[in-house]
């Protein structure tokens, strides 16, 4: 439902000249009305909302962690645009009972993340009502050349940061948005396209490639699998690879660069793992290498709002 509604909304949203990139990417790109005062920068804006009972459970999870997560998931979108975060607007809809106490705990997590990633809280809104806790954060940032999902080129090398899968064992509450890494990459190589892993590695990779009208040949044996995915597999009935392929809320980055820049990336210590997992190809879809160097079609899976998750790569 979410993707079909976004397609409808893109068609219904009037494009104004100041919006360089609108609905459909990790964040919007907004041009300054007076280019002479922009210093070559474009404004990047993203927003996300999380709701108790849907995206978290306040009776089971720390409100401080929930506040941290609400900021971090937006920062992950900023990182996926190759941008630097600057300021945030925070809106809390609070249940009437214990509203002040709840707001204080949530804000401790928000402020912790804001301080860690040098984001100023510029304002927002507070309201109380007879309903569940809802947190909505909008982050504004800046970029010289924003990374989009639509820039992948045939022959590009595909990379993913960190390790994948098993985030629901706890890592999803304290994600590490790759803001610093995005800045380092911008200073070193030219990223052609990028997306963050929020709904699952394969599903988000497929979205990026679809926006670029490309596909990918993947070396699944190279996919970085987290320790949590191995732990989760002991009881889930799924393999560690299946968790890495389709688990959501990793908040890592998928990106692609030229083959020349790929060599630079593989020779550089980035402070976090950056793993080459395949290459961009002209035929659409995801393909894995099998015996005799042939490729077999594999299908993306992950978390889709309003749909049932299914298992993936074997």
- CA angle (235 as vertex; 229, 240 as ends), nearest 5: 25
Helical spans, DSSP H, in 189-292? 201-212, 227-236, 240-246, 259-267
Ligand-binding site membership of 292 (annotated) = no
The closest alpha carbon to 192, from 145, 160, 224, belongs to: 145
Ligand-binding site membership of 138 (annotated) = no
Ligand-binding site membership of 239 (annotated) = no
Ligand-binding site membership of 124 (annotated) = yes
Please, are residues 135 and 50 in contact by the beta-carbon 8 Å criterion?
yes
Count of CB atoms within 10 A of residue 288's CB? 19
Question: In 3-state terms, the chain is what percent helix, strand and coil (to 5)?
Answer: 35, 30, 35
The closest alpha carbon to 201, from 162, 238, 237, 233, belongs to: 162
Ligand-binding site membership of 308 (annotated) = no
Q: Output the six-digit token pair for 303.
A: 């978390």
Ligand-binding site membership of 199 (annotated) = yes
* CA dist., res. 239 & res. 246, Å (int): 11
C-alpha dihedral sign at 187, 147, 252, 94: positive
Ligand-binding site membership of 125 (annotated) = yes
Ligand-binding site membership of 47 (annotated) = yes
Ligand-binding site membership of 198 (annotated) = yes
CA distance between the termini of the chain:
27
Ligand-binding site membership of 77 (annotated) = yes
Ligand-binding site membership of 174 (annotated) = no
* CA dist., res. 62 & res. 19, Å (int): 38
Ligand-binding site membership of 48 (annotated) = yes
Per the annotation, binding residues are 26, 47-48, 55, 77, 107, 124-125, 149, 196, 198-199, 249, 303
Per the annotation, binding residues for ATP are 107, 124-125, 149, 198
Per the annotation, binding residues for substrate are 55, 249, 303
Per the annotation, binding residues for Mg(2+) are 26, 47-48, 77, 125, 196, 199
């Amino acid at each position: 439902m979410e993707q079909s509604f976004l397609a409808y909304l893109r068609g219904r949203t009037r494009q104004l000249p100041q919006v360089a990139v609108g609905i459909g990417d990790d964040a919007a790109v907004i041009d300054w009305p007076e280019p002479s005062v922009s210093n070559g920068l474009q404004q990047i804006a993203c927003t996300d909302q999380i709701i108790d009972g849907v995206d978290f459970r306040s009776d089971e999870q720390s409100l401080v962690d929930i506040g941290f997560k609400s900021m971090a998931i937006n920062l992950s979108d900023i990182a996926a645009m190759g941008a630097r975060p600057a300021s945030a607007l925070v809106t809390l809809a609070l249940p009437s009972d214990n509203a002040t106490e709840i707001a204080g705990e949530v804000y401790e997590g928000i402020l912790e993340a804001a301080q860690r990633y040098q984001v100023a809280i510029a304002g927002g809104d507070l309201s109380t009502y007879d309903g569940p806790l809802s947190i909505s954060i909008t982050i504004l940032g800046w970029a010289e050349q924003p990374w989009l999902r639509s820039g992948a080129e045939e022959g590009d090398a595909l990379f993913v940061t960190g390790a994948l899968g098993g985030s629901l064992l706890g890592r999803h509450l304290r994600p590490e948005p790759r803001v610093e890494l995005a800045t380092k990459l911008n200073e070193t190589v030219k990223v052609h396209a990028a997306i963050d892993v929020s709904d699952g590695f394969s599903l988000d990779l497929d979205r990026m490639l679809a926006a670029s009208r490309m596909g990918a040949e993947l070396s699944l044996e190279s996919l970085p699998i987290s320790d949590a995915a191995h732990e989760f597999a002991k009881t889930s009935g799924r393999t560690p690879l299946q968790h890495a392929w389709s688990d959501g809320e990793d908040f890592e980055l998928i990106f692609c660069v030229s083959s020349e820049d790929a060599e630079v990336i593989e020779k550089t210590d980035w402070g976090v793992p950056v793993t080459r997992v395949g290459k961009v190809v002209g035929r659409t879809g995801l393909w894995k290498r099998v015996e005799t160097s042939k490729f077999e079609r594999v299908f993306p899976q992950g978390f889709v709002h309003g749909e049932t998750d299914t298992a993936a790569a074997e």
